[in-house]
Amino acid sequence: MALDFPNDMSMSRKAMKAELLDAETELKLAYAWRDERDEAALHRLITAYMRLAISMASKYRRYGANMNDLIQEAGLGLMKAADKFDPDRGVRFSTYAVWWIKASIQDYVMRNWSMVRTGSTSSQKSLFFNMRRVQARLEREAMAQGEELDRHQMRQMISTEIGVPLHDVEMMEGRLSGSDFSLNATQSSEDEGREWIDTLEDNAPQADQTVEHSHDTVALRRWLVQAMGVLSDRERHIVQQRKLIEPARTLESLGDELGLSKERIRQLEVAAFTKMRKSLENQSQEVLELLV
């Protein structure tokens, strides 16, 4: 069933006019949907409890989300509840639906609170929706007793009160301390102020590093070609297949190709490297390290 009301006011008005289901009718509709996939029964069940979904959605307006979006999410939670509800368990649908509606709304709020994912575990959700309320109560109680709690004490008390790890409290405190801001915002009110993005370190190679790397690469390639020139065709092929391609060939596969044993391929490889090292004795140490 699509939630296609044009705005939250019309949703609320329509929901308030919906019928109130008694336990017997509710059970009958639940069976009709579960056993017969009767969409008319589902529509009637959902419509009857949209007032519950809207009431729960209104409690989350303080998180800055659009009320119409909250109602839509609450409606989705209500439909999930209807789809998974088992009337044989002897529980009222409204009691069961509350948990699905709440979960759907909370997931939506947390997804849209920040561009950075706020959290998804049960402890993080509990902190997100309860930390400020618990903190305010603890501060009032401490003030009434003439005490003053430092930040570490407060975090520990919140951790104990909500039953979550201390590091989760520290993480959530940082995420709730401020909203997102654009990296293109200026650091001062001046028109020509530097943007925050300009303060980020550029991890790309600098010009001198690029030139140096290019120069060294050319030299290494030249030295390698010279060293490979002292090898026989078979030795050159073994070195190329063992060191200069990805993934490297195994001794066994080269042995099968050349009709030799693995041990003979290994001996030829060692001999080839020995020749190359002698050829490169007066060249860069970097090449020698490449051949190790």
CATH number of the domain enclosing 239? 1.10.10.10
Would you say residue 7 has pLDDT above 60?
Answer: no
Q: Is the dihedral of CA 72, 76, 126, 55 positive or negative?
A: positive
In the prediction, which pLDDT does 31 show? 93
For residue range 44-96, list pLDDT tens digits in order: 999 999 999 999 998 888 777 888 889 999 999 999 999 999 999 989 999 99
Q: Are residues 219 and 284 in the same domain?
A: yes
Structural domain including 265 reads: 211-290
Domain total of the chain? 3
User: Does residue 14 sit in the same domain as residue 101?
Assistant: yes
Residue 135 sits in the same domain as residue 96 = no
Same domain, yes or no: 14 and 105: yes
Q: Is residue 199 part of a domain?
A: no
Is 190 contained in some domain?
no
Residue-level pLDDT at 49: 92
- Judge whether 127 lies within some domain: yes
105 and 88 inside one domain? yes
Q: Are residues 75 and 169 in the same domain?
A: no
Domain assignment of residue 88, yes or no:
yes
Classify residue 45: in a domain, yes or no: yes
- Do 91 and 149 reside in the same domain of the chain? no
Q: SS3 for the chain, per residue?
A: CCCCCCCHHHHHHHHHHCCCCCHHHHHHHHHHHHHHCCHHHHHHHHHHCHHHHHHHHHCCHHHCCCHHHHHHHHHHHHHHHHHHCCHHHCCCHHHHHHHHHHHHHHHHHHHHHCCCCCCCCHHHHHHHHHHHHHHHHHHHHHHHCCCCCCHHHHHHHHHHHHCCCHHHHHHHHHHHCCCCCCCCCECCCCCCCCEHHHHCCCCCCCHHHHHHHHHHHHHHHHHHHHHHCCCCHHHHHHHHHHHCCCCCCCHHHHHHHHCCCHHHHHHHHHHHHHHHHHHCCCCCHHHHHHCC
- The whole-angstrom separation of Cα 190 and Cα 51 is 50
Same domain, 16 and 45: yes
- CATH, residue 32: 1.20.120.1810
Q: Is residue 171 located within the same domain as residue 266? A: no
Residue 216 sits in the same domain as residue 286: yes
Is the same domain home to 15 and 107? Answer: yes
Give pLDDT tens digits for 124-182.
Answer: 777 777 787 888 888 888 888 888 888 888 888 888 888 888 888 877 776 666 554 55
On whether the CB atoms of residues 57 and 74 are closer than 8 A, the answer is: yes
Of the pLDDT bands very low, low, confident and very high (cuts 50, 70, 90), residue 4 is: very low
Backbone φ, ψ for residue 72 (5° rounding): -60, -45
Q: Considering the entire predicted model, what is its pTM? A: 0.47
Domain assignment present for residue 163? The answer is yes
139 dihedral zone (left: phi>0; alpha: psi -120 to 50; beta): alpha
- 176 near 131, Cβ under 8 Å? yes
Q: Which residues contact residue 102 at a Cβ distance below 8 angstroms, ignoring those fewer than 6 apart?
A: 56, 77
In 3D, which of 73, 64, 100 has the Cα closest to residue 8?
Answer: 73
Q: Which two tokens stand for residue 127?
A: 């902190």
Domain membership flag for residue 188: no
